[in-house]
Amino acid sequence: MGKIGLGLHAGAYLNLSCFESERKSLLEFKKDLIDKSNRLASWTGDDCCSWKGVGCSRNTGHVVKLDLHNNAAFDLDRFFFGDMQNYVSIYGETCFNGTIPPQLGNLSALEYLDLGNKAEGFSYWISRHSLSTKSLWWATCLSSLKHLDLSKVYLGEARDWLEALNKLRFLTSLTLNSCGIYSFPHIAHLNFTSLTSLDLGGNEFDSTIPLWLFNLTSLVHLDLSGNRFFGPMVPNNLQHWTSLSYLDLSYNQFNTSLPDPLFTLNNLVYMDLTYNQIQGPLPLGLGNLTSLSVLHMGNNSFEGKIPSAIGQLRELTDLDLSRNGFNGTIPSSLWRLSELKFLDLSDNPLSGELRDIHFAKLAKLKVLGLSSLPLLALNVSSSWVPPFQLEGVFMSSIKIGPKFPLWLQTQKTIEYLRMSNASISDTIPDWFERVCHGIKYLDFFNNHMMGKPPVCKGSSGHKYRVGFFLEANKFEGPLQLLPTDISELHLQNNSLQGIIPQPDIKNNMTLDILRLLDLSDNHFMGSIPDSLCSLQMLAVLDLSNNQLSGGIPSCIGKLKTLGALLLANNNLYGHIPISLGQLNFLQSLHLDRNKFTGMVPFSLRHLKILQFLDLGNNGLEGIIPSWIGDELSRLRFLVLESNNFHGDISMCLCKLSFLQVLSLKDNNLTGHIPRCFNNFTAMTSIESDSVADIRVPVYIMPHGMLFYGYSEELSVLIKGENLKYTSSNVRYVRFMGLSKNKLSGEIPVELMSLVGLQGLDLSRNHLSGRIPENIGNLKQLESLDLSKNDLSGPIPQSLSNLDSLGWLNLSFNELTGPIPSGRHLQTFDDPTIYMGNSGLCGEPLDRSCPDGKSNAGESDGDHEDGKESYFDWFYAGLGPGFAVGLLGFFSVLCFKESWRYAYFEFLESLLNKVWVQIALLKRKFN
């Protein structure tokens, strides 16, 4: 149990039994806990001092220690924290659940109480509150308490937390990390002024730092990280913390420069101010902290030059100034810090050139971070032998090339090597195979490396490797073996060819390692090998954009952990295997741009958490299955375009409220557009927050299974061209495409409520009726195509309100009247937009409107449409004009006798001719 100490089983040594009242209190405490892992199995019998986690005093026999914290820790070698932003959700199982019973307060002699969850490494990502309490008043009875740890115990409803704990005047160590606390109650007088260690990190405070904290003058260790503290970082009475040696204020929202009193804390050896919003230059007084060994100031808004006074911190072992606004050259004094083990200057606009001499005194350096420094160049000689042996090399987006860095062959202990986007245009030397055998994380992304990709076989079959990122280079030739001792293997966007090799499996241990395999955008040929089905822990398989042929192996359905299967743009054919319906964790399925035939397998209805389904550009047939709407309720992207689907669009699709993209174009669909399409709630929103981040989730199940984050990509035809949406913006796209079918009827007015739509394509159908008057509601619309239909009537004036519109096509319909003008629509000066509508007039066409007005919108405003104004006057005058003419004719007959005789003589002659013709017809048919 680690911290229990010598008194844990003292009762057993002294032949003493614990007090009965305390034994009963512990049993009451146990009764209210849900002990899934049976950690309290030893809590039986009369001697509670012998129970696991319970410690008794050697002198009195009273229970003085209770340590039940969850000490489960994740294997940190399995993760690289630079990529933590790719992880969406992590789930673990703690040992205890339930409410802390107040009977715990009966242990009045207790000096040490630890109920915290100590899962390490993910303090900002794992915050499961398995234990909770609505009040801490029971703790007031623990008058002897010196150490209290309630990490990750939920205290969000315990409003009395501060008032109760203030009663514990002997308290020296208090840890309330990630407890869901959000407020500091008012307190008039402090009793626990003996505190030497206070940890309030990872809570939800949304305030300035409370002043009573500065009365804790005995503090040695203070952690306020991971909150939302704002305003000035600390007031001037900071110098009261004269004993402070550890200060962590990271992950807050401070927005001022560092105050001078901070630099009078001469005992300070650890200071972490990362992830704040501290502005201004780095204070010159920093050099006063001569005892400082750890200084973390990354992820702030510091600017100006790094002060040369930083060279006075001779004891410094860790220096992090990354992700700020430091400019100019790096001061020479920094390179004299010979005790440095960790140095990170990444993501700053620093300039200049680094040569061999700069690193001459850094013999103890283990981690070097110089990433994202585009104005800085590493220019060392080809014969340079560094004085250090690095474990972590982070040099992405800094000029290193064009030659491969030869100094790497002197480094024997590298575990993390990042040199992506480093302008290296060279083959990888053979000696690199010897260097990289111990590398866990290798990143050569986006260089111009040629030849064969490195294999980097591990020195042990049990060695765990995080990931190899070799994409976007010029690696060529066939792969001999597929390494499987790597968690993520990225080889996409190269020039690799030949067949996909067999997995390099030497023992069953390697089968549990490879989670992500990306060979997309290469020139692989042949079939998908059945041997890939042996990778039983595979979460992402991407073979898209190659030249693969044959069918999908049915054994793919055995990959129970698969979350994304991407086989698009190959030459695969045959039926889609029904075994894919067994992939219960599948969220992304891309089989588009192949030659698949037959119907969509009914088994796919079992993919309950599927979000992306792209079967477009194949030869699939039948009706669009109704079970897609009934069963796949989480779908966000449904692409069935360019197939042979027929029949009506199923009304069941209207149940897909999360749908962002619907593309059914280029099929043989008939019937009307369902009015219930307005149920696509995601298309009615213009806020990205309404659409969750599109990634294959990462989580740890009880048996240790791990899924890695994988970002989704999508290509959508908007503005007349295919636009690619990647992980950063795929959440924003909303599109509906129903073009090139045989749909009829009117455009449903209900579609106009989908105000988040960016693209709407209904072209090449048989749609009739008018364009809905309220089409101007679609304010986010960037692309609108209604061409080649049978639409009639005027173009609505509200169309001119679509300020985001960048592409418009209304050609080849039966539209009439003036083309609306005004606002954004005036920028569309291409007449082909309106061609094939003979009834349209006005600019940009060369046909003027009959009333002399160029376009609708230029009249006096009595009518929304100028064309309606013209014809309204025409029809209004037609009736009275006819009546007046008829009245004049009969008036002449009354008063002009000769006209009257002539008129009736004409009528008599006309009737005679009609009767003769009727008589001849009767004779003919008789």
Q: Is the pLDDT of residue 83 over 90?
A: no
What the block records as the tokens of 540 is 């992402």
Nearest alpha-carbon partner for 257 in 233, 288, 222: 233
- More reliable by pLDDT, 521 or 902: 521
Alpha helices in 90-174 (DSSP H): 161-165
pLDDT for position 125: 36
First to last CA, the chain: 120
3-state SS, residue 326: strand
For 492-534, the pLDDT digits (tens) are 999 999 999 988 776 555 456 889 999 999 999 999 999 999 9
Quick one: which H or E segment has residue 737? strand 735-737
pLDDT for position 531: 92
Q: Is the pLDDT of residue 798 over 80?
A: yes
Share of the chain above pLDDT 70, in %: 80
For 204-234, the pLDDT digits (tens) are 888 888 888 888 989 999 999 989 888 887 7
Q: With b meaning 16 or more CB within 10 Å and e meaning fewer, what string describes 776-800?
A: bbbebbbbbbbbbbebebbbbbbbb
Q: Is the pLDDT of residue 262 over 90?
A: no
Mean pLDDT of the chain: 83
Q: What is the mean pLDDT of residues 544-561?
A: 96
Least reliable range by pLDDT among 71-80, 445-454, 472-481: 71-80
Decide whether 6-175 matches 627-848 in CATH topology: yes
Quick one: which H or E segment has residue 907? helix 897-925
For 19-44, the pLDDT digits (tens) are 888 888 888 888 877 777 777 888 88
pLDDT for position 853: 54
pLDDT for position 633: 95
785 DSSP β-pair partners: 761, 809
pLDDT for position 615: 97
Angle of the 866-895 helix axis to the 897-925 helix axis, nearest 10: 100
In angstroms, rounded to a whole number, what is the distance separating the alpha carbons of residues 329 and 80? 30
What the block records as the tokens of 109 is 């002699």
pLDDT for position 874: 54
In angstroms, rounded to a whole number, what is the distance separating the alpha carbons of residues 120 and 806? 51
Asked if residues 561 and 707 have their Cβ atoms less than 8 Å apart, the reply is yes
Q: Which residue's structure tokens are 């213009």?
A: 686
Q: Is the pLDDT of residue 572 over 50?
A: yes
Give the sheet arrangement for strand 279-281, strand by strand: 279-281, 301-304, 325-326
Share of the chain above pLDDT 90, in %: 53
pLDDT for position 185: 84
> Could you state, in order of their start, the residue ranges of all structural domains in the chain?
6-175, 627-848, 863-888, 896-926
722 DSSP β-pair partners: 717
pLDDT for position 102: 87
Phi, psi (deg, nearest 5) at residue 725: -110, 125
Q: How sure is the predictor about 718, in pLDDT bands with cuts at 50, 70 and 90? A: low
pLDDT for position 502: 87
| Alpha-carbon torsion (680, 681, 686, 690), positive or negative | negative
In angstroms, rounded to a whole number, what is the distance separating the alpha carbons of residues 543 and 570? 9
pLDDT for position 883: 67
pLDDT for position 23: 87
Q: Which residue's structure tokens are 């509508």?
A: 837
pLDDT for position 858: 45
For 289-336, the pLDDT digits (tens) are 888 899 998 998 889 999 898 998 899 999 999 999 999 999 999 999
What the block records as the tokens of 414 is 């590298």
- More reliable by pLDDT, 90 or 621: 621
Q: Which residue's structure tokens are 């002399």?
A: 852
Q: What is the mean pLDDT of residues 381-387?
A: 95
In angstroms, rounded to a whole number, what is the distance separating the alpha carbons of residues 673 and 754? 14
- More reliable by pLDDT, 338 or 35: 338
The amino acid at residue 658 is F
What the block records as the tokens of 564 is 């994304």
For 233-242, the pLDDT digits (tens) are 776 777 788 8
In angstroms, rounded to a whole number, what is the distance separating the alpha carbons of residues 789 and 813? 5
In angstroms, rounded to a whole number, what is the distance separating the alpha carbons of residues 188 and 198? 19
Fold of domain 627-848:
3.80.10
pLDDT for position 74: 36
In angstroms, rounded to a whole number, what is the distance separating the alpha carbons of residues 820 and 863? 12
- More reliable by pLDDT, 868 or 645: 645
The amino acid at residue 668 is N
Q: How sure is the predictor about 758, in pLDDT bands with cuts at 50, 70 and 90? A: very high
What the block records as the tokens of 380 is 């060392």
Asked if residues 491 and 471 have their Cβ atoms less than 8 Å apart, the reply is yes
Q: Which residue's structure tokens are 């205290």?
A: 155
Q: Is the pLDDT of residue 691 over 60?
A: no
In angstroms, rounded to a whole number, what is the distance separating the alpha carbons of residues 632 and 601? 13
**Domain 6-175, CATH number (from 3.30.70.240, 3.80.10.10, 3.20.20.10, 3.40.50.880):** 3.80.10.10
Q: With b meaning 16 or more CB within 10 Å and e meaning fewer, what string describes 112-130?
A: bbbbbbbbeebbeebbbbb
Q: Is the pLDDT of residue 911 over 60?
A: yes
Asked if residues 519 and 493 have their Cβ atoms less than 8 Å apart, the reply is no
Q: Who's near 874: CB < 8 A, 6+ residues apart?
A: none
- Would strands 230-231 and 253-254 be described as parallel, antiparallel, or unpaired? parallel
Q: What is the mean pLDDT of residues 427-447?
A: 92
Round the CA-based radius of gyration of the chain to a whole number and report it.
38
What the block records as the tokens of 146 is 């010196």
How is residue 618 annotated by DSSP? Answer: S
- More reliable by pLDDT, 637 or 725: 637
Full-model pTM:
0.77
Q: Is the pLDDT of residue 888 over 80?
A: no
Distance of CA 327 to the CA centre of its chain: 31
Nearest alpha-carbon partner for 784 in 792, 800, 768: 800
Q: How many CA atoms lie within 13 A of 162 on its CB side?
A: 16
| Alpha-carbon torsion (646, 648, 652, 654), positive or negative | positive
pLDDT for position 765: 98
For 2-14, the pLDDT digits (tens) are 333 333 333 333 4
- Would strands 318-320 and 342-344 be described as parallel, antiparallel, or unpaired? parallel
The amino acid at residue 657 is S
In angstroms, rounded to a whole number, what is the distance separating the alpha carbons of residues 622 and 674? 19
- Would strands 661-663 and 637-639 be described as parallel, antiparallel, or unpaired? parallel
